[in-house]
Every structure is written in C-alpha cells, then in structure tokens.
Amino acid sequence: MQKLTVLGATGSIGISTLAVVEANPEQFSIYALTGHSQVKKLVEQAVKFRPEVIVVGSADLAKEARTLVEQHQLNVEIEFGEQALERVASAEGVDTVVAAIVGAAGMRSCLAAARASKRILLANKEALVMSGQLFIDEVKKYNACLLPVDSEHNAIFQSLPLDYQQGYLDKSIEDYGVTSIILTGSGGPFRETALEDLPFKTPKQACAHPNWSMGQKISVDSASMMNKGLEFIEACYLFGVSPDFIEVLIHPQSVIHSMVRYQDGSVLAQMGQPDMKTPIAHTMAWPKRITSTVEPFDFVKCSGFTFQAPCQERYPNLYLAKEAFRQGQEVTTVLNAANEEHVDRFLKGQIAFTDIAKYNARILEKLSPQKACNLTDILEIDKQARSLAHELLN
Ligand code: NDP
Ligand code: MG
C-alpha cells in the first residue's frame, strides 16, 4: 500500500487524484491533504479519505478548519503555512507526494519531497520552470523518483521504452533512437478568434477550455499558449533535450497527448480521453497499471484528428518561453513570475487578455537577472520580477 501526501488536494488535479485513490482503495492511503483557501472542501475530503494531517493557508483558516473538524468529530491534525507543506511533503512513512499546488507557491514543498527521496508525481510545472536544473539535480542527488503528470510529458514518457523510463533523468533519449519530441496542444478557446477581438476576451471566456476542465491559472495559460511555453521548458528539463529537439503542434481534439519520433521513421503517441485521471493513475501505479475510471476512447465517434502549426501573432507567449529557455534558467524564473502576476491581474479584470504577453515581454526586456546558483538566488529573482511587474502596472 502506498501512502500519499496530496499537495493542492482541493484543486482540479487534487480532486482527480482522490478520484483515482477512491477507485483503488486497497492500493493507496492518505497521510496528508493540503489546500489553501477552500477549507470546507478540504475538510469534506478529510471526512472521506481520513488523512492524518491537513494543511491550510493561514492561522485563521486553521481555526475555521478546527471548528469544522470538531463538528465532524474527526481525528486529524491541522497545520498551516509553507513550513507545514514542506513537512508533510517530506514526512517519514510517506511514499508518494502528488505535487499539485498551482504556481511558484509549490516550489519549496516539491524540493522538500525531492530531498526526502520521495516518489514525486509532478503536476506543478511552474515549480520546475522556476527552479529548472536545480530541482532536477536535487531529485538525482537524493535518489527521488520524479514522474510527470502533465499530460504531454506523461504521454512522452509513456512513448519511450521502459528501459529509458527507469532512471530516465540520467539517460539520453538519443541513445534510444529518438530524433524529436512532438508536444501537442489544443490551441485553447481562442484558436479561431479574430486577432482584433482577442483584447476583449474576458476571464470567463479564457477559462472555458474546449476539452479540458482545469484550474483558472492553467486555463488562461492554455488560452495564451503560455501553458505550452511552460511545457516546452518543462520538457527540456525532464528529458534533457535542447529546444531544437522539440516540435510544437496544435491538435484541437486533444486526443493525442504528445508524440515521440524515432530514427527509423516511427512516431509513437499516447492517446486517450482528455482527462487528467489517466496520467495521474499512470504515475500512481507506474510501472504497473491501475483503473482510473476514465471511459475508453471511442474512435468511431471521434470527429477526426487535425493538426496545425502555432502562429506567433496569436500566441506570443509561446515564443517568449522558448526564447527565455535559450537565454537561461534565470530568465525562465523571471518569465514564470511575470506571467503569474499578469494572469492574476487579468483574472481580476485589471488588464486585457493580450496585455499578459505584452507585459511579460516588457519584464523580460527590462530585467537582467543575476545568475542563479541556488534556491535563494531563484527566490530573489522571482521576487524582483514580481516587484517590477507591480511597479510597472501601478
Ligand atoms: P487549481 O487552481 O485547481 O488548484 C490549485 C491548488 O493549489 C488548490 O488546492 C489550491 O488551494 C492550492 N493553492 C493555491 N495557492 C496556494 C498557495 N499559495 N499555497 C499552497 N497551496 C495553494 O489548479 P490545477 O489543479 O488546475 O493545477 C495545479 C497544478 O497542476 C498547476 O501547476 C497546473 O499547471 C498543473 N497542471 C494542471 C492540469 C489540469 O488539468 N488542471 C494539467 C496539467 C498540469 P485552494 O483551492 O484551497 O485555495
Ligand atoms: Mg499539459
């Protein structure tokens, strides 16, 4: 039986993870569930999954949780704050940590899990984009096991030989005859919107993804294709490849979740319903398989597969991300921080949809970060980028 800590349990990935746990009760038990602001939902999850610990965002929220826990006569420890997240991510007895906090807020707990040699199921792509090689190096140093939950990276991982998958961070995919990785993306809800209408798109429209049901931040990133940009960087780190090794392809149906080309002309793809329970279940059971409760994909009912190349005018954020990776780790930290700030402002109705990329570019232009040699440097660069974003917006 694997014991899990689910970081970000109250979010979209967290909820899907718990659905997979519920479908496989004999294989998983829960040590800790963490949320941030949704205390009621977290306590409801605790009633059902009986963790030993729950973590919320602040002392006040912990008080609120205490009242609810007492009403349910539940025996669970209640903690709050960043250190508590690190503690439950590294606690003795925990086998697997599901990293599903959104944004840079999840980075420290991801690192704590790596340093405690856990099996890390990584959904929190911003943590990897922000800390890059430093995070990968910690995973290797402490012999942790990092498995990609993000559907594209999970698809790439599944399309590579098992021999490569075992200890993949130390191997070269070129040694396995791979010639390129094809990262697919739906193109988001504005794929066919007239360019001149993009500035008027609302948060609600941006969050209405045609295929996937996700949290707000990643939904906006999908609409601007910053999500694909972050995934491009994520793929470079996870599979140890240079930007030239990755092709980005729009595939509006979101059935092929990514592909791998081999030197003999073969292209291997992983396909299925656009439902995160599949990659989550895959990482939970790897190298075995378990049920995920996802319906089998019906090829006869599907409308066909189409593909197109992304266009820079529509998706400037994708190109900013590629360029940031070429410039180095520090620049991807800056871009991630700037993007988080600008998406937040867009969701609050303070800037236009097209301002996100425009302002991200402005921060990249104005800030020349120092070299990041350790976590402290990274946190400092992240802070500088956010302060500059605030300053320029105010
Ligand atoms: P959600 O917004 O749905 O959930 C985010 C979770 O993080 C919630 O549990 C939230 O708590 C918690 N959280 C928010 N802010 C903080 C904070 N400052 N400190 C601690 N916890 C916090 O996001 P998703 O589930 O959609 O995404 C989670 C991660 O997975 C993201 O990095 C995303 O890019 C990645 N991902 C998501 C996919 C998806 O389909 N959703 C697909 C692939 C990757 P609360 O709600 O209680 O405030
Ligand atoms: Mg993805």
Q: What is the CATH number of the domain that holds 84?
A: 3.40.50.720
Tell me if 153 is assigned to some domain: no
Distance, CA of 17 to CA of 266 (rounded, Å): 33
Task: Give the pLDDT confidence score for residue 209 in this predicted structure.
Answer: 85
Tell me if 156 is assigned to some domain: no
Instruction: Give me ligand 2 centre to Cα 364, in Å.
Output: 24
Tell me if 297 is assigned to some domain: no
Do 269 and 366 belong together in one domain?
yes
Do 54 and 142 belong together in one domain?
yes
Tell me if 158 is assigned to some domain: no
Do 124 and 234 belong together in one domain?
no
* Of residues 394, 384, 375, 377, the one with CA closest to residue 335: 384
Distance, CA of 318 to CA of 322 (rounded, Å): 6
Round the CA-based radius of gyration of the chain to a whole number and report it: 20
Tell me if 372 is assigned to some domain: yes
Atom nearest to 85 CA in ligand 1: 20
Do 103 and 240 belong together in one domain?
no
* CB 128 within 8 Å of CB 237: yes
- Structural domain including 76 reads 2-148
Question: b vs e for 274-310, b when ≥16 Cβ sit within 10 Å of the residue's Cβ?
Answer: bbbbbbbbbbbbbeeeeebebeeeeeeeeeeeeeeeb
Tell me if 249 is assigned to some domain: yes
The span from the first CA to the last CA of the chain, in angstroms, equals 52
Distance, CA of 14 to CA of 83 (rounded, Å): 20
Burial of 244 (C-beta count, 10 Å sphere; 0-12/13-18/19+): exposed
Alpha helices (runs of H) in 160-255, residue ranges in sequence order: 162-165, 203-207, 216-224, 226-238
Do 229 and 352 belong together in one domain?
yes
Cβ within 8 Å of residue 359, ≥6 positions away: 338, 342, 351, 389, 392, 393
Atom nearest to 9 CA in ligand 1: 9
Domain end residue (candidates: 113, 148, 183): 148
Do 88 and 193 belong together in one domain?
no
Atom nearest to 41 CA in ligand 1: 47
Do 194 and 131 belong together in one domain?
no
* CB 39 within 8 Å of CB 65: yes
Instruction: Give me ligand 2 centre to Cα 151, in Å.
Output: 5
Task: Give the pLDDT confidence score for residue 356 in this predicted structure.
Answer: 98
Burial of 203 (C-beta count, 10 Å sphere; 0-12/13-18/19+): middle
Do 124 and 196 belong together in one domain?
no
Tell me if 286 is assigned to some domain: no
Which one-letter DSSP state was computed for residue 200?
G
Pocket of ligand 1 (CB under 6 A): 8-14, 35-38, 57, 100-102, 105, 123-126, 150, 212, 214-218, 276
Residue located nearest, by CA, to atom 16 of ligand 1: 36
Do 111 and 231 belong together in one domain?
no
Cβ within 8 Å of residue 58, ≥6 positions away: 80, 81
Count structural domains, the chain: 2
For residue 182, what is the domain's CATH number?
A: 1.10.1740.10
Do 141 and 251 belong together in one domain?
no
Q: Which residue from 5, 6, 12, 225 has its CB within 8 A of the most atoms of ligand 1, so it is best to mutate?
A: 12
Do 181 and 141 belong together in one domain?
no
Do 205 and 335 belong together in one domain?
yes
Tell me if 287 is assigned to some domain: no
Instruction: Give me ligand 2 centre to Cα 47, in Å.
Output: 30
Domain end residue (candidates: 115, 148, 181): 148
| Tens-level pLDDT at each residue, the chain (394 residues) | 999 999 999 999 999 999 999 999 999 999 999 999 999 999 999 999 999 999 999 999 999 999 999 999 999 999 999 999 999 999 999 999 999 999 999 999 999 999 999 999 999 999 999 999 999 999 999 999 999 999 999 999 999 999 999 999 999 999 999 999 999 999 999 999 999 999 999 999 999 988 888 999 999 999 999 999 999 999 999 999 999 999 999 999 999 999 999 999 999 999 999 999 999 999 999 999 999 999 999 999 998 999 999 999 999 999 999 999 999 999 999 999 999 999 999 999 999 999 999 999 999 999 999 999 999 999 999 999 999 999 999 8
Domain end residue (candidates: 86, 113, 148): 148
Ranges assigned E (strand) in the chain: 2-7, 28-34, 53-56, 77-80, 96-99, 119-122, 145-148, 178-185, 246-250, 256-262, 267-271
Distance, CA of 371 to CA of 375 (rounded, Å): 11
Instruction: Give me ligand 1 centre to Cα 225, in Å.
Output: 18
Rounded to the nearest angstrom, the gap between the alpha carbon of residue 262 and the centroid of all alpha carbons in its chain is 27
